[in-house]
Amino acid sequence: MADETTDEVEAEGKPKSGKKKLLLFGAIGLVLLFGGAGGVAWFLGLLGGGASADLAADEAGAHAPAADGHAGDGHGGDGHGDAAQAVVFVDMPDVLVNLQSGGQRIRFLKLRAALEVASEDVATRVKALMPRIMDSFQLYLRALTVDEVSGSGGLQRLKEELATRVNFAVQPTRVEDVLVKEMLVQ
């Protein structure tokens, strides 16, 4: 009879142990699921945190009026952020040119760019001089070869040369940077 009681306890003990493991793993799974969902919600800013909330806070601080009535820059109101706030981008017309090639195959370069300038006033002056800028770009780009525009080094040299040419074309106005939006070589 003692053997029967031991067998019943062992038989009853295994299912209870299996149920406990199942409940434990289920609880761990739910904690991980809710924790992951909460982390994603926080990162997306749905719970007040994350990149979008930080960006919104930075933008609100950068554009909110300071106590003196001037727009702050989000860095103590020392005035150094005003230039960053006033940045304006001037879209350029698409440029499509033939590249120099040693073979019979004709190679093309398609370029979409924007010019970064300091203010709306500068943007207006740059737009007025756009035909001069386009002429300068056309002359330079037509003299390039495929090798000169390939790779990140070629793109960096191209940006620097275009910035030099555009600044020469719009003197005494200054363009801060030439931003390449799209460059296609065929």
pLDDT in tens, 85-97: 679 999 999 999 9
Give residue 141's pLDDT: 93
Residue 113 tokens, joined: 């760019």
Domains of the chain, by residue range, sit at: 2-81, 86-185
In tens, the pLDDT along 89-133 reads 999 999 999 988 877 888 899 999 999 999 999 999 999 999 999
Do 79 and 71 form a contact (C-beta atoms < 8 A)? no
22 versus 73: the higher-pLDDT residue is 22
Q: Which amino acid, residue 172? A: P
Residue 112 tokens, joined: 């979409």
Q: Give the torsion sign (CA, 74, 76, 82, 87).
A: negative
Give residue 56's pLDDT: 46
Cβ atoms < 10 Å from Cβ of 126: 22
Q: Which amino acid, residue 18? A: G
Give residue 15's pLDDT: 53
Do 90 and 121 form a contact (C-beta atoms < 8 A)? no
pLDDT above 70 covers a percentage of the chain that reads 67
Task: Return the minimum-mean-pLDDT range out of 2-11, 129-138, 171-180.
Answer: 2-11
Does domain 86-185 bear CATH number 3.40.605.10?
Answer: no
Rounded to 10°, the helix 2-43/50-63 angle is 30
Nearest to 98 by CA among 151, 153, 148, 143: 143
Whether residue 180 is predicted with pLDDT greater than 90 in this model: the reply is yes
* Strand, helix or coil for residue 95: strand
Whether residue 9 is predicted with pLDDT greater than 60 in this model: the reply is no
In tens, the pLDDT along 55-82 reads 444 444 444 444 444 444 444 444 455 5
